[in-house]
């Protein structure tokens, strides 16, 4: 039987836990709820498997004595940290608690975050950060800034070792944005979630521009315009579920193989509709997502940055249960052309997949790079080079299927054979050439065409020359005759051929030359 002394000790512990769980107090919890926001602990509970959360550092308090801070202290000091499971797989978590000094970052808060990040690295598990903070704790001055730097350094060292995911469920402003920005994925909610380097008031005083918080750094802006956010959700609940889904596709760390789910979708499923999906007129669009749906396990895929640079699709899917990254040009948007934004988007995705051993499937229908001063002045040369670099350095299994157009530099960039594509297939509708027929004939026959005075004769001459060019290049066979394409496949067989190719590549081993690190054209 427990002595009275021991009973008192246990009671003290229980009471302290109750106090800690109240964060900044019931009034502030109510205020958080009234804004449509959950508290840090509620968020962690929703994210993790029920009952799996183990909290650490619940009794940590701040050490600040400026501005009367010694009189106001809360157990846990504004951040909830610990570990738990998602679908049975371990993850580490930190969640800023807005009810304590607005979730602002103190020296001790940063120590708690760093501790759980170090733990994630030791354990080799993903780290998920839930951000809801007024930034550096003003009363702590440079201690808070040093704390941020400690976190940033850990974000950098963890990059490519364990997956890092940032959820933005409140303010994330100033230098504080750089922790999420250094992580692999940023997820935002439509309400209450914003990220910017300087807020509306500073913007007004410096540039005179009137802008609201949402217009400056809300979820819509960052998922459509800036590309800073990778996922946007209507609510916190939806975002937490999405995080669980994302985790299901990725390995725990860079030394692990990709997760394999049970597959009840026949691997040799034929999709007759694919034989008809490409329009006979090469200028007509179709939806590349229909192809992805047709070939992936159960038609399921998770798109990354779905609203940004929609001319390229980046998504996770499964083939025979094996997690796979898909990069696909989207003919429905800008004819699937490569531009600055789509090149950057895809390059980052390719690098994530390669860092975490996720095989890559590339579906190609690309008319080339977008021409014009707008793109050139924005550095399309450097951005296009990023994508080429990412594909060329990637050592994971790479399977490419050319659906229709694959022209010029864009053909090379989109995981061609010579950028170490492992299996490069083409549909019979593929056109692999330096450029499209009309552009080519203009270059090759411009003088001859100009010399023809009669309009009908001119049109006939152009028609004949273009037909000759198409006959030679508007097909996959010239490339196949050289072995640049490993096989021309029937579209309805694509799922089976892709799965077989990845099966064959399971034992692939390729290493890059030893170096400190590469110098990707940033
Ligand atoms: C200390 C803070 C705080 C901060 C908020 N609080 N931000 N305490 N340091 N940075 C406190 C408030 O005093 C208040 O305390 C509680 O948190 C809730 O704040 P409210 O203002 O009442 O909430 P709300 O109206 O929702 O406004 C949220 C807000 C606003 C927009 C975030 O609080 C705000 O503008 N805060 C300052 C933001 C800022 O400028 N931070 C510094 C950025 S520079 P009580 O006791 O009333 O509950 C920076 C540099 C980082 O962060 C550099 C890294 C390299």
**Which of left, alpha, beta for 339 (phi over 0: left; psi -120 to 50: alpha)?**
beta
Residue at 175 is within a domain: yes
The pLDDT value recorded for residue 427 is: 98
Q: Ligand 1 centre and the CA of 173: distance in Å?
A: 10
In terms of domains, do 127 and 24 share one? Answer: yes
Instruction: Measure the CA–CA gap between 232 and 239, rounded to whole angstroms.
Output: 7
The pLDDT value recorded for residue 55 is: 98
Residue at 521 is within a domain: no
Which residue's alpha carbon is at the smallest distance from atom 36 of ligand 1?
A: 134
The pLDDT value recorded for residue 175 is: 82
DSSP state of 260: B
- Residue 203's nearest CA partner among 216, 184, 193 is 216
Last-in-domain residue among 196, 217, 249: 249
Q: How many domains in the chain?
A: 3
In terms of domains, do 168 and 311 share one? Answer: no
Residue at 258 is within a domain: no
Residue at 267 is within a domain: no
Q: For the purposes of burial, counting CB atoms within 10 Å of the CB of 423, is it exposed (0-12), middle (13-18) or buried (19 or more)?
A: buried
Q: Ligand 1 centre and the CA of 101: distance in Å?
A: 7
Summarised one tens digit per residue, pLDDT across range 274-308 is: 999 999 898 999 999 999 999 999 999 999 999 99
Q: Where are the alpha helices (DSSP H) in 336-433?
A: 340-355, 373-377, 380-393, 408-413
Which residue's alpha carbon is at the smallest distance from atom 42 of ligand 1?
A: 135
Which residue's alpha carbon is at the smallest distance from atom 54 of ligand 1?
A: 175
Residue at 255 is within a domain: no
Check if 138 has its Cβ closer than 6 Å to any atom of ligand 1: yes
> Mutation test of ligand 1: which of 102, 106, 214 has the most ligand atoms closer than 8 Å to its C-beta?
102
Could you tell me the CA-to-CA distances from 449 to 163, 193, 438, 440, 442 in Å, in that order? 57, 59, 12, 13, 8
Check if 102 has its Cβ closer than 6 Å to any atom of ligand 1: yes
Check if 174 has its Cβ closer than 6 Å to any atom of ligand 1: yes
In terms of domains, do 424 and 467 share one? Answer: no
- Residue 446: domain span: 436-473
**What CATH number is attached to the domain comprising 149?**
3.90.226.10
Check if 137 has its Cβ closer than 6 Å to any atom of ligand 1: yes
The pLDDT value recorded for residue 162 is: 98
Summarised one tens digit per residue, pLDDT across range 82-105 is: 999 999 999 999 999 999 999 999
In terms of domains, do 348 and 481 share one? Answer: yes
Check if 173 has its Cβ closer than 6 Å to any atom of ligand 1: yes
Check if 336 has its Cβ closer than 6 Å to any atom of ligand 1: no
For the chain, list residues with pLDDT below 70: none
In terms of domains, do 384 and 449 share one? Answer: no
In terms of domains, do 217 and 349 share one? Answer: no
In terms of domains, do 323 and 237 share one? Answer: no
In terms of domains, do 71 and 160 share one? Answer: yes
Residue at 238 is within a domain: yes
Instruction: Measure the CA–CA gap between 124 and 119, rounded to whole angstroms.
Output: 8
Residue at 520 is within a domain: no
- Secondary element (H or E) of residue 84: strand 79-86
């Amino acid at each position: 039987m427990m002595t009275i002394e021991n009973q008192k000790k246990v009671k003290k512990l229980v009471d302290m836990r109750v106090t800690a769980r109240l964060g900044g107090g019931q009034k502030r919890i109510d205020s958080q709820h009234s804004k449509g926001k959950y508290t840090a602990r509620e968020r962690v509970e929703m994210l993790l498997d029920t009952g799996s959360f183990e909290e650490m550092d619940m009794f940590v308090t701040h050490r600040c004595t400026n501005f009367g801070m010694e009189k106001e202290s809360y157990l846990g000091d504004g951040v909830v940290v610990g570990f738990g499971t998602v679908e049975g797989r371990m993850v580490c978590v930190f969640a800023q608690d807005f009810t304590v000094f607005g979730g602002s970052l103190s020296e001790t808060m940063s120590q708690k975050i760093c501790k759980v990040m170090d733990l994630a690295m030791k354990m080799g598990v993903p780290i998920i950060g839930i951000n809801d903070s007024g930034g550096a704790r003003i009363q702590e001055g440079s201690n808070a800034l040093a704390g941020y730097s400690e976190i940033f350094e850990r974000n950098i060292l963890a990059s490519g070792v364990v997956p890092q995911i940032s959820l933005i469920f409140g303010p994330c402003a100033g230098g504080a944005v750089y922790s999420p920005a250094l992580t692999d994925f940023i997820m935002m909610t439509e309400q209450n979630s914003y990220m910017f380097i300087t807020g509306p008031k500073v913007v007004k005083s410096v540039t005179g521009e009137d802008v609201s918080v949402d217009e400056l750094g809300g979820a819509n802006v960052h998922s459509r315009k800036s590309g800073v956010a990778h996922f946007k959700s209507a609510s916190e609940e939806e975002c937490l579920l999405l995080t669980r889904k994302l985790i299901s596709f990725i390995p725990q760390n860079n030394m692990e193989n990709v997760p394999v789910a049970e597959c009840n979708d026949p691997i040799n499923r034929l999709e007759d509709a694919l034989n008809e999906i490409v329009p006979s007129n090469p200028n007509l669009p179709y939806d590349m997502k229909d192809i992805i749906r047709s070939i992936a396990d159960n038609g399921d895929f998770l798109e990354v940055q779905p609203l940004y640079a929609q001319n390229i699709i980046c998504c996770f899917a499964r083939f025979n249960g094996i997690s796979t990254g898909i990069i696909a040009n989207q003919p429905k948007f800008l004819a699937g052309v490569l531009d600055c934004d789509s090149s950057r988007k895809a390059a980052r995705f390719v690098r994530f997949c390669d860092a975490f051993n996720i095989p890559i499937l590339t579906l190609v229908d690309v008319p080339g790079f977008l021409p014009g001063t707008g793109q050139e002045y924005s550095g399309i040369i450097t951005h296009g080079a990023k994508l080429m670099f990412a594909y060329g350095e990637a050592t994971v299994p790479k399977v490419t299927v050319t659906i229709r157009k694959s022209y010029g530099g864009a053909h090379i960039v989109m995981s061609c054979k010579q950028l170490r594509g492992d299996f490069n297939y083409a549909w019979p509708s593929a056109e692999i050439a330096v450029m499209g027929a009309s552009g080519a004939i203009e270059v090759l026959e411009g003088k001859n065409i100009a010399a023809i005075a009669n309009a009908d004769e001119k049109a006939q001459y152009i028609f004949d020359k273009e037909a000759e060019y198409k006959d030679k290049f508007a097909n996959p066979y010239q490339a196949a005759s050289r072995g640049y394409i490993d096989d021309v496949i029937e579209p309805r067989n694509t799922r089976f051929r892709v799965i077989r190719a990845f099966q064959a590549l399971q034992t692939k081993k390729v290493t890059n030359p030893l170096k400190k690190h590469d110098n990707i054209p940033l």
